Structure 1
Amino acid sequence: MRFKTDLRNIRTFSRLVAALNSLEKIAWVRLDDETARFTVIPDTGSQVWASLSVNLIFDNYSIQSAEPSNTINLELPLGPLQRALRSAAGGNQASLRLTKRDGLPMLSMTIHAMTKDGGGPEPRGGRAASGFSGADPNDPFGDDPDIFQQESLELTLKREREKVITQDIPVRVLHPDTVETIMQPKVREPDVHIQLPPLLQLKAISDRFTKLALTTSSSSRPGGGPERNNPKLELSANMYGSLRLRVAAESLDITSVWNGLDNPELDPGALSMPVEEHPSTRFREEGPDKWATVRVDGKDWSRVLSVGRLDAGRVIACFSDDHALILYVYVPHHDDEASDDVVTYYVSSYSA
């Protein structure tokens, strides 16, 4: 099997990897002719399923294997990849290829960067190195226009040269049968779907609520000390454009509400039932006081919202009341505004 590609849109790729790495240290990567899929399933916490078209992050893409669609499955450590991408951000060009080192599979990143070499010290003073500094009143040729001032050789000129850096990331090549066991969670049709406010704004308020809950719980117990369990945040939404974030602790109960958000229209062609029978239609019919609610771990929710650094476009949240929250984060193509890819987060709800 073979895989080789240049990197494009390194900033977006690096931020995606950083967001995934905050949830889990290992990702399953599935590469084929058209897509790159990243799957993160931690022991506890939110799961991520990212499906990106190869032209979002790759260029001069070449892949070959014996599997259908030239599929290659890898187990990839995210920390080394994140560090390599951080180095690539300052380079002129970067490429990835699947190779071997001492018989072990590696994802090798080669980074080309231009560096400047410094010369010797700059001459001090206004006189040239030859000792001639211009017209001399005692020189009969001082005013002759054909006599030119001599200048020193500029040893301080920077000379550019190419620097090549190679970073090897150890990977495991997975058998297709193994990967087939990694199944995306199946959830029922959502009760509420709503477009979220900017994720970094939502993250700032969520983090503040979590911190307040931790501080309050710690100070209210004898001897203080950290809380055994992380605070749970309550997220609710309705089909009338409202989102509610609430935290309730022993001596704390605060709420923040967003109004005027969009509830996107459903695509009848993508549904397994008529629109009028969809759960969200029933929630809409019951009015603005009908909310779908999930309870999430405050710290895990903060890590999920770090995907906001991707400069993502719209983010649609689908609430299955008291069961799960699915986030669809749409990543636009900078060279094609009509195209976007999606990163899907699956967040389980804690019982009340």
Structure 2
Amino acid sequence: MVRFRAKLLDVAGIIHLSRVVATLSKVAKTCVLRLTPDKVFFVLSDRTAQATGMRIWCNLEQGNFFDDYRIEGRDETNQILLELVTEQLSRALKTALTAASVKIKLTNKHTPCLTLEINTQASATRTRSVTHDIPATLVPAKLWSDFEEPPMPRYQVSICLPALKTLRHAVDRLKNLSNYLILSANNVGNFSLEVETDDVSVRTQFKDLDNPVVENCPVSEQTGDPEHMVSARVDIRKFGQFLQAQQINPTRIVCNILENRAVHCFVLHDDMHLQYFLPVVVR
């Protein structure tokens, strides 16, 4: 028997959680919600990852969102993994943006559900309650290893990206020219977006960006000129989906590139950490 119950009373926390889930819903039709005593994880479900090639890992410190949080898992790890439709959770949270409180609990209504009880102040003396039952599938323990944090690639360049709004504007112009986008960066703060076709080559360049040291990210041994541009080719639509993360007002966005092999993006916020692994398209 597993049990989960949580409560949000802070409007800012409700809005922020809603924005996080809305961002994920634009990329993943389904996700696995991994609940632990200290953190809440959203992981792109394995089936979706196989179909799109994109992997997503998002973790939230539960203490920064929930005013009450109780969990009873099946074993000593005290965790629960649920697979659910991301858009359904997003729609439910959007109805809570002006709520006085939101209660979230695991229920069994012919099938396991993540139930949201949303209470709003209808008047000075009257409250209104709305309940959303989101069907969920309990992930068996034998599959939990599929939803551990993915290993970090050994990258050659790590660079802080420009504002997502600026990148979206550039990508929106380039996507009319090609289905693929070449991301390039070096270790002296240069970054570029480029499309190449038989008829045209267009590049947008950014300079004087930071090359950060990201905790827990292994750096490959640097060889050659630090001004050498390390590049990887990705699906321009998938990169555009990543840019939807502007909804959560990140404090920093970091892109790691391994030449023609891996693109790994971090979206960093004070109380959350979102990772995207974009599939590289070989010419």
Q: Do both proteins adopt the same fold according to a TM-score greater than 0.5, normalized to the shorter chain?
A: yes
- 2:119 and 2:263 map into 1 onto residues whose CA distance is 42
- 1:309 and 1:194 map into 2 onto residues whose CA distance is 21
Deviation of 1:279 after TM superposition, in Å, equals 3.0
Q: Taking structure 1 as reference, are residues 75 and 266 closer, same or farther at Cα in structure 2, changes over 3 Å only? A: closer
1:287 maps onto 2:226 in alignment: yes
- 1:24 and 1:64 map into 2 onto residues whose CA distance is 27
Q: Secondary structure at the match of 1:239?
A: coil
Q: Secondary structure at the match of 1:58?
A: coil
- 1:58 and 1:68 map into 2 onto residues whose CA distance is 23
Q: Which residue of structure 1 lines up, in the alignment, with residue 132 of structure 2?
A: 167
Q: Taking structure 1 as reference, are residues 183 and 2 closer, same or farther at Cα in structure 2, changes over 3 Å only? A: closer
| 1:112 counterpart letter in structure 2 | N
Q: Which residue of structure 2 lines up, in the alignment, with residue 4 of structure 1?
A: 5
CA contact (8 A) 2:29 2:85 kept: yes
Q: Which residue of structure 1 lines up, in the alignment, with residue 74 of structure 2?
A: 66
| 2:70 counterpart letter in structure 1 | S
Q: Taking structure 1 as reference, are residues 39 and 165 closer, same or farther at Cα in structure 2, changes over 3 Å only? A: same
Q: Taking structure 1 as reference, are residues 79 and 4 closer, same or farther at Cα in structure 2, changes over 3 Å only? A: same
Output the TM-score relative to the length of structure 1: 0.74
Q: Secondary structure at the match of 1:67?
A: coil
Deviation of 1:174 after TM superposition, in Å, equals 1.4
1:198 maps onto 2:163 in alignment: yes
1:14 maps onto 2:18 in alignment: yes
Deviation of 1:169 after TM superposition, in Å, equals 0.6
1:246 maps onto 2:187 in alignment: no
1:303-314 equivalences under 5 Å are: 303-314=241-252
Any idea what the Cα deviations from partners look like across 1:189-239, whole Å, max 9, x if unmatched? Answer: 10001111111211221122102x16xxxxxxxxxxxxxxxx101110000
1:116-135 equivalences under 5 Å are: 116=123
1:39 maps onto 2:39 in alignment: no
1:351 maps onto 2:278 in alignment: no
CA contact (8 A) 1:197 1:261 kept: yes
Any idea what the Cα deviations from partners look like across 1:312-339, whole Å, max 9, x if unmatched? Answer: 1111111011011111111214xxxxxx
Q: Which residue of structure 2 lines up, in the alignment, with residue 111 of structure 1?
A: 118
Output the TM-score relative to the length of structure 2: 0.91
Q: Answer with 17-26 or 237-246: which moved more.
A: 17-26
Q: Secondary structure at the match of 1:111?
A: strand
Q: Answer with 292-301 or 56-65: which moved more.
A: 56-65
- 1:20 and 1:88 map into 2 onto residues whose CA distance is 18
- 1:184 and 1:31 map into 2 onto residues whose CA distance is 13
Q: Which has the larger radius of gyration?
A: 1
Q: Which residue of structure 2 lines up, in the alignment, with residue 88 of structure 1?
A: 96
Q: Secondary structure at the match of 1:261?
A: coil
- 1:193 and 1:181 map into 2 onto residues whose CA distance is 27
Q: Secondary structure at the match of 2:250?
A: coil
How many residues of Structure 1 are paired with residues of Structure 2 in the alignment? Answer: 275
1:218-233 equivalences under 5 Å are: 231-233=179-181
| 1:99 counterpart letter in structure 2 | T
Superposed structure 1 runs of 4+ greater than 6 Å apart: none
- 2:86 and 2:214 map into 1 onto residues whose CA distance is 35
In structure 2, runs of 5+ residues without a counterpart are: none
1:237 to 181, 185, 191: 185
2:28 to 24, 28, 46: 24
Deviation of 1:99 after TM superposition, in Å, equals 0.9
Identity %: 25
